[in-house]
Amino acid sequence: MAPFDAILFDLDNTLCTNDQSGETIYAGAFDAAGLDRFGEPSDLWAALDGLPDHDDHEGYLADGFERVAAKHDREGVDVRALARGFVETVDHSAVSFRPGAEAALAAARDHASVGLVTNGPERRQAVKLDALGIADAFDAVVFAGDMPRRKPHPDPFDRALSDLDAEANASLHVGDSLEFDVDGAHRAGLDAAWCPVETGDEGDPDPTSYAPAYVLRSLTEFSTILDGGP
């Protein structure tokens, strides 16, 4: 049995996934803004720079839409209206569990204290937790989007461990992002389990330099960690 006193989970793309397609949200942004469409969702994802600014999410999206507009030679577009339309279209309650997530949470609770560390703000993430029925499933919840420093900074992990009265060297964090979850956990002194959304494609990131202690093809394999597997 793996000797963890605390197990932390990420939320988005780790425990749950948004059921709305990128196409639905992108098209909805233009419909809400009353503008003729240009570009594709992939153009916007590529244009968004760095971590979202949870204090000005619309501004973050507007900057992305401005880059997409420039790419498609569209001058004078109301990118703020597009950003507002994007935000209005997203339904944060339209989420579902990733395969194995419910069982992984139950197994973790049987073995250790369990925490959630998410980079989103409470106003958005609490809606997802309620929709999934897991608002009370954690012994500690950290909404790093409401903190001055978010993952991969150690502060969100430190707060969760403090709330759980657990030591970093006896704790594990499970997440989908090498940069924010795996590297962030390591900075805070925790072991990390990497569970990417997809594996096996040429575009997948190389985990070698991040050296997660565990690599899971899905959360259906999570129990192997608790059973002392590789």
Per-residue pLDDT tens digits of the chain, which is 230 residues long: 567 999 999 999 999 999 999 999 999 999 999 999 999 999 999 999 876 766 788 999 999 999 999 999 999 999 999 999 999 999 999 999 999 999 999 999 999 999 999 999 999 999 999 999 999 999 999 999 999 999 999 999 999 999 999 999 999 999 999 999 999 999 999 999 999 986 444 445 677 889 999 999 999 999 999 987 55
Position 200 scores a pLDDT of 45
Rounded distance, CA 151 to CA 13, Å?
Answer: 15
Position 202 scores a pLDDT of 44
Position 2 scores a pLDDT of 61
**Which residues have CB under 8 Å from 163's CB, separation 6+?**
115, 139, 140, 142
Position 230 scores a pLDDT of 53
Position 132 scores a pLDDT of 98
Position 227 scores a pLDDT of 85
Position 184 scores a pLDDT of 97
Position 50 scores a pLDDT of 73
Rounded distance, CA 71 to CA 192, Å?
Answer: 39
Specify the long-range contacts of residues 31-36, CB closer than 8 Å, at least 24 apart. Answer: 31/85, 31/89, 32/81, 32/84, 32/85, 32/86, 32/88, 32/89, 33/78, 33/81, 33/82, 33/84, 33/85, 34/81, 35/77, 35/78, 35/81, 35/82
Position 201 scores a pLDDT of 43
Conformational region of residue 68, where left means phi above 0, alpha means psi within -120 to 50, and beta covers everything else: alpha
Indicate the pTM of the whole model: 0.89
Rounded distance, CA 119 to CA 125, Å?
Answer: 9
